Structure 1
Amino acid sequence: MTSLRAYAAVTAAYWAFMLTDGALRMLVLLHFHGLGFSPLQLAWLFLLYEVAGVVTNLTAGWLAARYGLGATLIAGLALQIAALAALTQLDPAWTVAASVVFVMLVQGASGVAKDLAKTASKSAVKLLAPEGGLFRWVAVLTGSKNAIKGLGFFVGAALLATVGFGPALWLMATGLAAILVAVVLALPRDMSARDAKAKFTQVFSRDPRINRLAAARLFLFAARDVWFVVALPIWLAATLAQTLDPRTAFFVTGGFMAIWIIGYGGVQALAPRIVRGGTPSDALTWVAALAVIPAVLAATNAAASDATWIVMAGLLVFGVVFAINSSLHSFLILDFARAERVTMDVGFYYMANAGGRLLGTLLSGLTYQWGGLPMALAASAGLLILAAVATRTIPASA
């Protein structure tokens, strides 16, 4: 099988996974918001998902090195199907505490599934990309993935408003199962070599460039998720519900989240045309520019009585600049990684990415509960300053 066909098979599998991942997040968030869960309780629902991501990214690189990228990708798809099916067993008669624990556990399994699939997919690009084309191939995979995940946000909100929580989960599980069968039949069996002697301790990077880039990635994604995971959708749904019926508010909220992610993915795919160099200094310039946006929006939202449309427009601009930052990071980690240990370097790096999402998720519930959307946006600006500091310290060579 040619590199292009193998790349297409990996990308198709990753697309299918991320569609269900985005839909599941919106389903859970809006469903439990409708049941009266507080912002902090909603954050707890996603906390184990992010904790699982931290642990899984460390082990996924080692598993992919030992058992192959194909097996790791298939395991991620299968586990996501199991998580979707398990969530259908949620009983409305359970107590709030029991519901939170159950959903946390299922979301944890989904977090494991996502990072198995992500590590395998992104590592495959390093092995499949032609000489000199790495930035473009990484940008296409990452950008298209986020566009598909954004579509999933809308699909999740639409399914909740039309068929309801349980039937939506079964529909997604069935569709993903069909994709899994197709992937098993189509994926090349020799996509990567297996190293039976690969040791778990080898996943920790000794390259200072990768370690500093990982620190910057942690703060970068915490800065997004501190307002994106809980604060924005709950604020937007509550604000819109003052003038719209709840079902319409769900549609608009899910639609905005979808547009944000789809636009973010589209810009990621175009990043090689916007940023010609792809160096750490480029990343520093763009993250410094990004830090200004949430600071301005926090002040605007705190000062104005009705800043809904201003905040929404500002967050779309944030998405454009954030997408360029993210795409630069995705290229730099594969550029820094050595081919013989690419899965381990990528796994270590995306462990930091998951750590950032974990920090952002927890802070999203806390900041929104303490100070609303302005506090979440102010926290985002502070985290981006830390990301800029970490980026500034990336050395020129290993």
Structure 2
Amino acid sequence: MLPAIQALPEKVRQYLLVTLNYWAFTLTDGALRMLVVLHFHQLGYDALQIAMLFLFYEFFGVVTNLLGGWLGARIGLNRTMQIGLVMQVLALLMLTVPAEYLLIPWVMAAQALSGIAKDLNKMSAKSSVKHLVSEQQQGRLYQWVAILTGSKNTLKGVGFFLGAILLSILGFQYAMVAMAMFLAVMAVISAIYLQQDIGKASFKAKFKQIFSKSPAINYLSLARLCLFAARDVWFVVALPVYFASQSGWDDWSVGTFMAVWVIAYGVVQGLAPKITERSERNVVQSAVLWGWTLTLTTLSLTIVFYFFAAENQPLTWILVIGLLLFGFTFAINSSLHSYLIVALAKSDGVSLDVGFYYMANAMGRLLGTLASGYLYLNYGLSACLMVATLMLAIASVTVKFVPVPAKTATR
């Protein structure tokens, strides 16, 4: 096996190492989320209280992506990836304290550290791919980004199951120790074999450059913000709470369904280049087409849900089928957007553009999470779906102004 890997081209070996690093982190990140959800549910927290434990996780994702891109351009993506791994190890170790010390501020602080770590790792992995594909191989770039993005989400779903298994076998504290040890080993491997200067800009990146001045990046970032706000405004809090309170599902049923959905979502993301069958010359047209397909899918679900709710009809299977259709079309949109940012980002200091873009992604998730709880409590799931449809329409209009990727520019 090792001779076969050594025989591969250097850029392919580097891509595999970046992907392996990203996989390892994502697996533990998904497991950590499920461990926290299940453990604190056992301690008597309700769904909204548990969701608030992740508030800093999402908030610091916004800050990290904005500053992480600048940091990556200055010190290299290898180092920002290592920093992310080490911070995740520290976050896991923070949660190994006895149960009586797991107070809400302490857990929120650990989640904040984990959120910073996650986005440093993601920004580093996505930016690194830009340097591992030549400018003439945009089709391969689309495939590699799709594989990286799709496999990440699949493994995050697998991580949900892993978290439940670790909790039942090892218990909360020992599960944290086991995952911390696993990531520490990955950090050592990555530090030894990953190129030290990958992603480091030839210029000294200035702090003011964390904000993009490129109209293309700004349009795409706005579309990404709306896309993920539309997902999380009904998916993160409202949907699980609805299944638990209105459909009568127990915690394991809700968790299993959400995990399977995330795994399937990741598989579709990885297959997006084959599904779209579009080259980079018209990928923006594909993004617009799939954007409106997603918008109309969500609008249809909103209308059906609204009328069935008015007639007091059972809605569980309507939501399940709607969520499957939503997940399929959303995955294609996400994969197309992920390719576009890597293709449009400037090679020299790529993490500046990618960091700004994923800052918008994190902002959309944060706004969607907060709106999900507020809208569901005050107006119900129908309102969440209506807002999701509006945000998707804005995203579909905005992405139309994104230019078709050309050969990579330099700063």
Secondary structure, in 3 states, of the residue corresponding to 2:184?
A: helix
**Equivalent residue, structure 2, for 1:118:** 122
What percentage of aligned pairs have identical amino acids?
50
1:197-220 Cα deviation digits (max 9, x unpaired):
221112222111110110000010
Shift of 1:92: 4.2
Structure 2 Cα separation of the partners of residues 40 and 258 of structure 1? 19
Shift of 1:324: 0.6
Structure 1 Cα separation of the partners of residues 156 and 65 of structure 2? 19
For 1:289-368, list aligned pairs within 5 A: 289-302=293-306, 303=309, 304-368=312-376
Unaligned runs of at least 5 residues, structure 1: 244-248
**Equivalent residue, structure 2, for 1:223:** 230
Unaligned runs of at least 5 residues, structure 2: 1-8, 407-411
Greater shift, 222-231 or 368-377, is seen at 368-377
Q: For residues 378 and 28 of structure 1, do their structure 2 counterparts lie closer, same or farther at Cα, with a shift above 3 Å needed? A: farther
Shift of 1:33: 3.6
CA RMSD of aligned residues (A): 2.3
Structure 1 Cα separation of the partners of residues 16 and 389 of structure 2? 37
Structure 2: which amino acid aligns with 1:111?
A: G
Structure 1: which amino acid aligns with 2:37?
A: L
Q: For residues 395 and 169 of structure 1, do their structure 2 counterparts lie closer, same or farther at Cα, with a shift above 3 Å needed? A: same
TM-score scaled by length of structure 2: 0.87
CA contact (8 A) 1:64 1:120 kept: yes
Q: 1:3 aligns with which of 11, 22, 31?
A: 11
Q: For residues 204 and 187 of structure 1, do their structure 2 counterparts lie closer, same or farther at Cα, with a shift above 3 Å needed? A: same
Structure 2 Cα separation of the partners of residues 50 and 383 of structure 1? 19
Secondary structure, in 3 states, of the residue corresponding to 1:339?
A: coil
Q: For residues 349 and 234 of structure 1, do their structure 2 counterparts lie closer, same or farther at Cα, with a shift above 3 Å needed? A: same
Greater shift, 56-65 or 308-317, is seen at 308-317
For 1:97-112, list aligned pairs within 5 A: 99-112=103-116
CA contact (8 A) 1:76 1:117 kept: yes
Q: For residues 12 and 103 of structure 1, do their structure 2 counterparts lie closer, same or farther at Cα, with a shift above 3 Å needed? A: same
Structure 2: which amino acid aligns with 1:307?
A: L
Structure 1: which amino acid aligns with 2:192?
A: L
CA contact (8 A) 1:280 1:394 kept: yes
Greater shift, 162-171 or 333-342, is seen at 162-171
4+ long deviations beyond 6 Å: none
Q: Are residues 1:169 and 2:176 paired?
A: yes
Shift of 1:36: 3.8
Secondary structure, in 3 states, of the residue corresponding to 1:340?
A: coil
Structure 2 Cα separation of the partners of residues 165 and 269 of structure 1? 32
CA contact (8 A) 1:50 1:358 kept: yes
Number of residue pairs the alignment of both structures matches: 388
Q: 1:198 aligns with which of 197, 202, 205?
A: 205
Structure 1 Cα separation of the partners of residues 157 and 96 of structure 2? 23
TM-score scaled by length of structure 1: 0.90
Q: Are residues 1:391 and 2:399 paired?
A: yes
Structure 2 Cα separation of the partners of residues 328 and 38 of structure 1? 36
CA contact (8 A) 1:260 1:319 kept: yes
Structure 1 Cα separation of the partners of residues 349 and 172 of structure 2? 42
CA contact (8 A) 1:39 1:368 kept: no
Structure 2: which amino acid aligns with 1:261?
A: V
